[in-house]
Amino acid sequence: MTRWKEYFEELLHTTDRKPEEHEEHEYEKKFICGFVRGVIKRNVNDGLLRQLVLEFIATAELCATCFELIIVADNYGVWVYGGFLFVLTVWWSFHWETATACPYCPIEEIFERKRNVFVGLLLVGAQVLGGLAIFRYIQVLWSFELVETHKGRAFEDCSTDLQVPVLVGAFIEGVATCACRVISKILGETNTRVSNILDAFFGTSLVVAAFNYSGGYFNPALATALKYGCQGSTIPEHMLVYWLGPMIGAIFSVFLFNSKAAQNVVKTLTGKRD
């Protein structure tokens, strides 16, 4: 099976395309995903099926966007990449509703006994399938070579983003995931729209900080869609860095969020008293 990252890794070295042109592709993807999401919400009443399909769509949208954003990162720098990612993350927070597009969220709920194990694993499966399916969509789209940066790149091999030792990479992904989840949970308790913006800013900042070390994925489904099987990392190494690291970080965030210190912060922000 053709590995998928190198075909846009090389593509990144072409600098004659403006970031606005990549943004046009994002509008197209968002229109498609938004249309399908609306159809599902109006016509699918079954709770579980609805959840599975919405997770599939959200993850597909996330991964499709990141394929293009990586091009922006190399051509125009990580700060431009971060700016687009921040805006998109805010947009997603207002449109995805309960969908997370991230496997450790159902795992957290299983761990906290808020979700059935079987259902949680089904959601993870839907997310992974969404990421893998969108790779094929991107591959077909780029094979049309509609723009200069797509020419001859759709079927090239890929290489890893991991630039540090495996254990260091797993530590980075795990700690950053834990920090993102704790902050997200705390801000989520405030129930304000500003909290979504602050959450997006914090998460994007960590992505930018880790970009040149582990890639700053903090999302197993996203990392799998973009990096699974790429040259430079074995499959066990990929699973350790981009699955086990974030999963441990997410589970640890549950303990941190429920700690007295974190709950005191929540009470301060929300004005709640015992």
Q: What is the pLDDT of residues 67-90, one digit of tens each?
A: 888 878 877 889 999 999 999 999
For the segment 172-183, the average pLDDT, to the nearest whole number, is 98
113 or 8, which is more confident?
A: 113
| Residue 144 domain-assigned (yes or no) | yes
87-91, Cβ contacts within 8 angstroms, sequence gap of 24 or more: 88/26, 89/200, 89/203, 89/204, 90/196, 90/197, 90/200, 91/30
- Exposed e or buried b for every residue in 136-161, given b needs 16+ CB within 10 A? eebbebbeeeebebbeebbebebbbb
| Residue 174 domain-assigned (yes or no) | yes
| Residue 1 domain-assigned (yes or no) | no
Both tokens of residue 242?
A: 């981009």
For the segment 249-263, the average pLDDT, to the nearest whole number, is 96
Both tokens of residue 99?
A: 């969908």
State the Cα–Cα distance between residues 53 and 40, nearest whole angstrom: 8
140 or 45, which is more confident?
A: 140
* CATH number for position 136: 1.20.1080.10
Apex 133 CA angle, 165 and 52, nearest 5: 100
pLDDT score for 22: 46
State the Cα–Cα distance between residues 29 and 142, nearest whole angstrom: 13
For the segment 256-273, the average pLDDT, to the nearest whole number, is 89
| Residue 132 domain-assigned (yes or no) | yes
The percent of residues in the chain predicted with pLDDT above 90, rounded, is 58
For the segment 130-159, the average pLDDT, to the nearest whole number, is 79
User: What is the count of structural domains for the chain?
Assistant: 1
Given pLDDT bands bounded at 50, 70 and 90, which one contains residue 176? very high
Domain that residue 58 falls in: 6-270
Apex 126 CA angle, 124 and 127, nearest 5: 65
Q: What is the pLDDT of residues 203-236, one digit of tens each?
A: 999 999 999 999 999 999 999 999 998 899 999 9
Query: DSSP label at 147?
Result: S
pLDDT score for 41: 60
271 or 255, which is more confident?
A: 255
**Site of tokens 């016509």:** 43
| Residue 227 domain-assigned (yes or no) | yes
State the Cα–Cα distance between residues 94 and 117, nearest whole angstrom: 27
Both tokens of residue 2?
A: 């053709």
| Residue 55 domain-assigned (yes or no) | yes
